Amino acid sequence: MQTLISETAIRQRGIELAHQIGSDYRDQPLTIVGVLTGSLVFLADLTRQLPIPHRIGVLQASSYRGATTVAGSLRVNLELVPDLQGRHVLLLDDILDTGQTLSSLVDEVKQLGPLSVRTVVLLRKLGRQSVAFEPDYCGFEIPDVFVVGYGLDYDDEFRHLPYLAGLDPEDIEQHRRRVK
Protein backbone atom coordinates (compact mmCIF):
# COMPACT_ATOMS: atom_id res chain seq x y z
CA MET A 1 0.00 0.00 0.00
CA GLN A 2 1.22 3.48 -0.88
CA THR A 3 1.21 6.12 1.86
CA LEU A 4 -0.80 9.03 0.52
CA ILE A 5 -0.74 11.35 3.55
CA SER A 6 1.57 10.77 6.50
CA GLU A 7 0.63 10.82 10.17
CA THR A 8 2.66 14.02 10.64
CA ALA A 9 0.95 15.81 7.74
CA ILE A 10 -2.49 14.79 9.05
CA ARG A 11 -1.66 16.07 12.53
CA GLN A 12 -0.32 19.38 11.21
CA ARG A 13 -3.36 20.00 9.02
CA GLY A 14 -5.70 18.99 11.85
CA ILE A 15 -4.18 21.67 14.08
CA GLU A 16 -4.66 24.31 11.36
CA LEU A 17 -8.30 23.31 10.84
CA ALA A 18 -8.99 23.33 14.57
CA HIS A 19 -7.60 26.85 14.88
CA GLN A 20 -9.64 28.08 11.93
CA ILE A 21 -12.84 26.51 13.28
CA GLY A 22 -12.05 27.74 16.78
CA SER A 23 -11.80 31.35 15.65
CA ASP A 24 -14.91 31.11 13.44
CA TYR A 25 -17.08 29.72 16.27
CA ARG A 26 -15.61 31.63 19.22
CA ASP A 27 -18.36 32.34 21.82
CA GLN A 28 -20.92 30.37 19.77
CA PRO A 29 -22.82 27.27 20.98
CA LEU A 30 -21.18 24.64 18.76
CA THR A 31 -22.01 20.94 18.37
CA ILE A 32 -19.78 18.85 16.15
CA VAL A 33 -21.67 15.90 14.66
CA GLY A 34 -19.45 13.13 13.31
CA VAL A 35 -20.66 10.74 10.64
CA LEU A 36 -20.06 7.16 11.79
CA THR A 37 -17.96 5.19 11.24
CA GLY A 38 -15.33 6.69 8.99
CA SER A 39 -15.02 10.03 10.81
CA LEU A 40 -14.26 8.57 14.27
CA VAL A 41 -10.49 9.08 14.22
CA PHE A 42 -10.68 12.55 12.65
CA LEU A 43 -13.38 13.53 15.17
CA ALA A 44 -11.30 12.33 18.12
CA ASP A 45 -8.23 14.26 16.96
CA LEU A 46 -9.99 17.46 15.89
CA THR A 47 -12.07 17.79 19.05
CA ARG A 48 -8.94 17.63 21.21
CA GLN A 49 -7.25 20.36 19.18
CA LEU A 50 -10.26 22.68 19.13
CA PRO A 51 -9.48 25.65 21.40
CA ILE A 52 -13.15 26.46 22.26
CA PRO A 53 -15.85 24.70 24.32
CA HIS A 54 -18.12 22.51 22.18
CA ARG A 55 -20.35 19.44 22.31
CA ILE A 56 -19.95 16.24 20.34
CA GLY A 57 -22.60 14.05 18.71
CA VAL A 58 -22.67 11.31 16.11
CA LEU A 59 -25.02 10.03 13.45
CA GLN A 60 -24.78 6.96 11.33
CA ALA A 61 -24.69 6.93 7.55
CA SER A 62 -23.53 4.21 5.22
CA SER A 63 -23.39 4.01 1.49
CA TYR A 64 -20.81 1.29 0.89
CA ARG A 65 -21.65 -2.37 1.28
CA GLY A 66 -18.90 -4.83 2.21
CA ALA A 67 -16.17 -5.64 -0.29
CA THR A 68 -16.92 -3.01 -2.92
CA THR A 69 -15.65 0.46 -3.68
CA VAL A 70 -18.94 1.45 -5.34
CA ALA A 71 -21.54 3.37 -3.33
CA GLY A 72 -25.01 1.91 -2.90
CA SER A 73 -28.08 3.65 -1.51
CA LEU A 74 -27.61 5.83 1.55
CA ARG A 75 -28.90 4.69 4.93
CA VAL A 76 -29.12 7.29 7.69
CA ASN A 77 -29.75 6.85 11.42
CA LEU A 78 -30.32 10.06 13.40
CA GLU A 79 -31.21 8.37 16.69
CA LEU A 80 -27.87 9.14 18.30
CA VAL A 81 -27.92 12.87 17.48
CA PRO A 82 -28.26 15.03 20.63
CA ASP A 83 -30.68 17.97 20.91
CA LEU A 84 -29.55 20.62 18.42
CA GLN A 85 -31.99 23.41 19.34
CA GLY A 86 -30.07 26.64 19.82
CA ARG A 87 -26.84 25.08 18.56
CA HIS A 88 -24.63 25.68 15.53
CA VAL A 89 -23.80 22.34 13.93
CA LEU A 90 -20.59 21.39 12.22
CA LEU A 91 -21.12 18.08 10.40
CA LEU A 92 -17.82 16.23 10.22
CA ASP A 93 -17.06 13.46 7.74
CA ASP A 94 -14.00 11.60 6.55
CA ILE A 95 -14.27 12.16 2.82
CA LEU A 96 -16.30 13.98 0.21
CA ASP A 97 -16.51 11.69 -2.82
CA THR A 98 -19.64 12.10 -4.98
CA GLY A 99 -21.05 14.55 -2.41
CA GLN A 100 -24.30 12.63 -2.06
CA THR A 101 -23.82 11.66 1.58
CA LEU A 102 -23.04 15.12 2.93
CA SER A 103 -25.57 17.00 0.85
CA SER A 104 -28.34 14.64 2.05
CA LEU A 105 -27.12 14.79 5.64
CA VAL A 106 -27.10 18.59 5.68
CA ASP A 107 -30.78 18.53 4.67
CA GLU A 108 -31.63 15.91 7.31
CA VAL A 109 -29.81 17.73 10.10
CA LYS A 110 -31.46 21.06 9.17
CA GLN A 111 -34.81 19.37 9.87
CA LEU A 112 -33.68 18.98 13.50
CA GLY A 113 -33.80 22.76 13.95
CA PRO A 114 -30.22 23.89 14.68
CA LEU A 115 -29.15 27.55 14.34
CA SER A 116 -26.95 26.65 11.35
CA VAL A 117 -25.29 23.68 9.65
CA ARG A 118 -21.82 23.72 8.13
CA THR A 119 -19.48 20.91 7.10
CA VAL A 120 -15.89 19.82 7.57
CA VAL A 121 -14.24 16.96 5.69
CA LEU A 122 -10.75 15.57 6.10
CA LEU A 123 -10.52 14.68 2.40
CA ARG A 124 -12.10 15.73 -0.85
CA LYS A 125 -11.63 13.53 -3.91
CA LEU A 126 -11.08 15.54 -7.04
CA GLY A 127 -13.05 14.80 -10.20
CA ARG A 128 -15.66 12.63 -8.47
CA GLN A 129 -18.39 15.00 -7.36
CA SER A 130 -21.79 14.38 -8.90
CA VAL A 131 -23.67 16.74 -6.57
CA ALA A 132 -22.91 20.47 -6.40
CA PHE A 133 -21.74 20.83 -2.82
CA GLU A 134 -18.97 22.88 -1.19
CA PRO A 135 -17.65 21.81 2.23
CA ASP A 136 -16.95 24.75 4.54
CA TYR A 137 -13.65 23.27 5.73
CA CYS A 138 -11.49 20.70 3.98
CA GLY A 139 -8.24 19.05 5.12
CA PHE A 140 -6.77 17.79 1.86
CA GLU A 141 -7.78 17.47 -1.77
CA ILE A 142 -6.71 14.09 -3.16
CA PRO A 143 -6.71 12.38 -6.56
CA ASP A 144 -9.31 9.78 -7.50
CA VAL A 145 -7.91 6.76 -5.64
CA PHE A 146 -9.61 4.58 -3.04
CA VAL A 147 -8.09 5.51 0.31
CA VAL A 148 -7.97 3.71 3.65
CA GLY A 149 -6.62 4.43 7.13
CA TYR A 150 -7.23 7.15 9.73
CA GLY A 151 -10.82 5.89 10.06
CA LEU A 152 -11.48 5.09 6.40
CA ASP A 153 -12.11 1.47 5.51
CA TYR A 154 -12.25 -1.07 2.78
CA ASP A 155 -14.67 -3.84 3.78
CA ASP A 156 -14.40 -2.56 7.39
CA GLU A 157 -10.63 -3.16 7.44
CA PHE A 158 -7.69 -0.73 7.70
CA ARG A 159 -9.47 1.93 9.79
CA HIS A 160 -6.78 1.69 12.46
CA LEU A 161 -3.85 2.78 10.26
CA PRO A 162 -2.51 6.09 11.63
CA TYR A 163 -1.83 7.40 8.10
CA LEU A 164 -3.80 7.49 4.82
CA ALA A 165 -2.94 4.98 2.13
CA GLY A 166 -4.13 4.45 -1.43
CA LEU A 167 -5.56 1.01 -2.17
CA ASP A 168 -4.86 -0.16 -5.71
CA PRO A 169 -6.62 -3.06 -7.48
CA GLU A 170 -3.80 -5.45 -6.49
CA ASP A 171 -4.23 -4.62 -2.80
CA ILE A 172 -7.98 -5.24 -3.17
CA GLU A 173 -7.38 -8.60 -4.87
CA GLN A 174 -4.93 -9.60 -2.12
CA HIS A 175 -7.44 -8.66 0.56
CA ARG A 176 -10.18 -10.69 -1.17
CA ARG A 177 -7.98 -13.79 -1.26
CA ARG A 178 -7.11 -13.35 2.41
CA VAL A 179 -10.71 -13.09 3.68
CA LYS A 180 -12.10 -15.91 1.49
Residues that bind ligand IMP (CB under 6 A): 35, 38, 63-64, 71, 93-101, 146-148, 152
In sequence order, which residues have a C-beta less than 8 Å from that of residue 90 and are 6 or more positions away? 21, 25, 30, 31, 32, 33, 118, 119, 120, 136
- DSSP characters over 57-98: EEEEEEEE-SS-SSEEEEEEE-TT----TT-EEEEEEEEESS
Please give the residues from 23 up to 42 whose contact with Mg ion meets the rule CB under 5 A: 38
Our CB check for ligand IMP shows the closer of 50 and 105 to be 105
Our CB check for Mg ion shows the closer of 106 and 115 to be 106
* Dihedrals phi, psi of 14, to nearest 5 degrees: -60, -40
Binding mask 59-88 for Mg ion (x = CB under 5 A): ------------------------------
Q: Which amino acid is at 111?
A: Q
Our CB check for Mg ion shows the closer of 25 and 148 to be 148
In sequence order, which residues have a C-beta less than 8 Å from that of residue 15 and are 6 or more positions away? 49
Let me know if 144 is a catalytic residue: no
Choosing from 24, 97, 107, 155, which is the catalytic residue? 97
Among ligand IMP, Mg ion, none, partner that 163 touches (CB below 5 to 8 angstroms by kind): none
* Closest distance of CB 177 from Mg ion, Å: 26
* Closest distance of CB 45 from ligand IMP, Å: 17
Q: Which residues bind Mg ion (CB under 5 A)?
A: 38
Annotated catalytic sites, by residue? Answer: 97
